[in-house]
Amino acid sequence: MDARPAENRPVREPGSNDFIRSIIDADNRSGTYGGRVHTRFPPEPNGYLHIGHAKSIVLNFGIAEEYGGRCNLRFDDTNPEKEELEYIESIQQDVRWLGFDWQDRLYYASNYFEQLYEFAERLVGKGLAYVDELSADQIRETRGTPTEPGTNSPYRDRPVAENLDLLRRMRAGEFADGSRVLRARIDMAAPNINLRDPILYRIRRVSHPNTGDSWCIYPTYDWAHGQSDWIEGITHSICTLEFENHRPLYDWFLDALDARTPGRPRQIEFARLNLGYTVMSKRRLLELVREGHVAGWDDPRMPTICGMRRRGYTPGAIRNFCRSIGVSKTNSQIDLAMLEFHLREDLNKRAPRVMAVLDPLKVVIENYPAGKAEQIEAENNPEDPSAGTRMLPFTREIYIERDDFREDPPKKFFRLAPGREVRLKHGYYITCRQVVRDPSSGEITELRCSYDPQSAGGSTPDGRKVKGTLHWVSVAQALEAEVRLYDRLFSVANPAEDAQRRNVDYKSFLNPDSLRVVEGCKLEPSLREAAPGTTFQFLRQGYFCVDSTDSSAEKPVFNRTVSLRDSWAKIERADKPT
RNA sequence: UGGGACGUCGGCAAGCGGUCAAGCCACCGGGUUUUGAUCCCGGCAUUCGGAGGUUCGAAUCCUCCCGUCCCAGCCA
């Protein structure tokens, strides 16, 4: 039981009751585990964590927290051919960043290799496992198909003593890689193919990140996972749907080892997270990195945790998202808008507001004194008064967003246009008097405006209304920066499935506009001290963070995390067809 | 054609035989607003993959059908 007083324990929100929590509730009622709840997050260290793993992390650690239980971090490192230290380190960093703590319970399946081997000898001793000498191809051929049963290996009925001897010699390194395997002796005619004498050990002379060269036989997932759960005292072993067919095997091994006591682990499967416009398989993510379609595992377009972190996502946003999508057994795909909603919700509360002009258009305020530079006090976050204020320089020459001016304004456009008056956020009202263009190209190069000295601070004594409020940056003090505008990585919702169906490479659906680099953006000078990784709201535009690897004082680089909702863009889009 | 699972609003997802089919996102209105942001208010499934059946009463139980996903790695 949780030692903390009830009021300090995380409270389960009503409505957050999913089928897994219902199972746990029932187990708690029946006393199956004596009220104990112990989960684990078991990544294989063969790649970086992505948003799909976040769902599992939030589920496993979240359940442990809610029930006053524990959650282990366990590396499922049974296949040294694919696993690397780099991944072991990044995974820990990502889980920690997401806000979870495994305390002193950092485990590896490889910690149990000796114990697992003893279990294997036990199975052999009971006549429940045998050493097979069939080749990989022969094993595949004799396994049968979903509709036809397999056939027994000629080595299936060896005496126990011979099997034991062979297994020990396998471990001792007497046989060549791939020449022998240890298989469970179950049923070659089982309708569930996983039960057709599955392999427990294979011979691989590969050095392991954790155990080095002390083993030349390695356990398979099926053999290692359930037993590791049992060793750790896991009560609820939560995994994804594709392991559903493995559950009978999970249970068979536990039975075979006489783990019949109450409290033996129980495997529960849920549907993995699918998101639109991206790919989630480690194989594909690795390929995108290796082939240079993205700048690395932490490219801000990647659905990896480190990519999202670099993009400007917050742990809280990811956690809220994972909690809000629910847990079920239905194969589903979550709308990207859901993720973005939680991102904006979190950032809206915490991101300081600043002004930045991405596509600058110069404005000269003709009746404002040339040498004058006022300091205007501006709030940092209307959602959070404790965020304080900062000073903004205001001068005769400023930049506004090119798109905030229309020479021929469409209906419902209430920004700047010839003769129109708008408010400069925190500043004055200005009216457009003249449009200056480049005589050769015809491009608008400058706007000549006048300001109303009475409108300081953004309102006038006569109380007249202006419909538009624009963001701006003073020319003389502007900080120049590069801004990277990110969009979805793929241009179709289901790149992997579409590719398979149409028999093309999923990479042909890569969105060519997933990154737009904008140079020469003008930022308010307060951003000069912005620390790498911090996220701001660029007023009226979106959330942007200082790129953690490419930004420098000499050349600031900002990533667009997510845009603000934009109902004007919606109106404009809707009006266009007419 | 074998086995395992899943099908409730555009996307998720509650619901576990008894007024009315939660909630969130999206979408559509309307209000507030020195961010066309935020915030607020309102709308949004006579119907639960389909067809039968059981019952006074079914999304919830039964039968059949349809659709989708997973399984033939010495990957996890």
The backbone torsions φ and ψ at residue A362, rounded to the nearest 5 degrees and listed phi first, read: -75, 140
Instruction: Return mean pLDDT, chain A.
Output: 95
Query: pLDDT band for position A296 (50/70/90)?
Result: very high
**Strand B nucleotides, any atom under 7 Å to a protein CB:** 1-8, 10-16, 22-28, 34-39, 68-76
Told to judge if A55 belongs to the known catalytic residues of this protein, a careful annotator would answer no
Overall pTM surpassing 0.90 (yes/no): yes
pLDDT given for residue A217 in this prediction: 98
pLDDT for residue A456 is more than 60: yes
Average pLDDT value for residue range A63-68: 97
Pull the structure tokens for residue A16: 């957050």
CATH of A282-352+481-575, one of 3.20.20.70, 2.40.240.10, 1.10.3720.10, 2.40.10.220: 2.40.240.10
Dump pLDDT digits (tens) for A468-524.
999 999 999 999 999 999 999 999 999 999 998 888 999 999 999 999 999 999 999
In chain A, where the domains are located: 19-270, 282-352+481-575, 356-471
Told to judge if A282 belongs to the known catalytic residues of this protein, a careful annotator would answer yes
pLDDT for residue A577 is more than 70: no
Q: Can you give the distance from the CA of residue A178 to the C1' of nucleotide B6 in angstroms?
A: 38
Told to judge if A180 belongs to the known catalytic residues of this protein, a careful annotator would answer no
Q: Can you give the distance from the CA of residue A27 to the C1' of nucleotide B8 in angstroms?
A: 28
Smallest CA–C1' separation from A567, nucleotide: B36
Query: Which one of A158, A185, A282, A522 is the catalytic residue?
Result: A282
Q: Can you give the distance from the CA of residue A17 to the C1' of nucleotide B47 in angstroms?
A: 24
- For the packed helices A51-66 and A315-324, what is the interaxial angle rounded to 10 degrees? 80
Residue of A394, A414, A389, A390 lying closest to A404 (CA atoms): A414
How many whole angstroms separate alpha carbon A73 and alpha carbon A272?
19
pLDDT given for residue A574 in this prediction: 81
Please tell me if the domain spanning A19-270 has the same topology as the one spanning A356-471: no
Pull the structure tokens for residue A244: 């559903």
- Do the Cβ atoms of A432 and A449 come closer than 8 Å? yes
Query: Which one of A9, A12, A44, A446 is the catalytic residue?
Result: A44
How many whole angstroms separate alpha carbon A131 and alpha carbon A170?
9
Fold classified for A19-270: Rossmann fold (3.40.50)
Dump pLDDT digits (tens) for A124-183.
999 999 999 999 999 999 999 999 999 999 999 999 999 999 999 999 999 999 999 999
pLDDT given for residue A573 in this prediction: 86
CATH number of A356-471: 2.40.240.10
pLDDT for residue A8 is more than 80: no
Query: Which one of A12, A105, A272, A540 is the catalytic residue?
Result: A272
How many whole angstroms separate alpha carbon A214 and alpha carbon A226?
23
Residue nearest to nucleotide B35 (CA to C1'): A540
Smallest CA–C1' separation from A80, nucleotide: B75
Identify the DSSP state of A102: -
Dump pLDDT digits (tens) for A171-230.
999 999 999 999 999 999 999 999 999 999 999 999 999 999 999 999 999 999 999 999
Smallest CA–C1' separation from A243, nucleotide: B70
Smallest CA–C1' separation from A342, nucleotide: B25
Q: Can you give the distance from the CA of residue A277 to the C1' of nucleotide B64 in angstroms?
A: 39
| Residue A289 parent element (H or E) | helix A282-290
Smallest CA–C1' separation from A135, nucleotide: B74
Q: Can you give the distance from the CA of residue A52 to the C1' of nucleotide B63 in angstroms?
A: 39
Q: Can you give the distance from the CA of residue A493 to the C1' of nucleotide B2 in angstroms?
A: 33
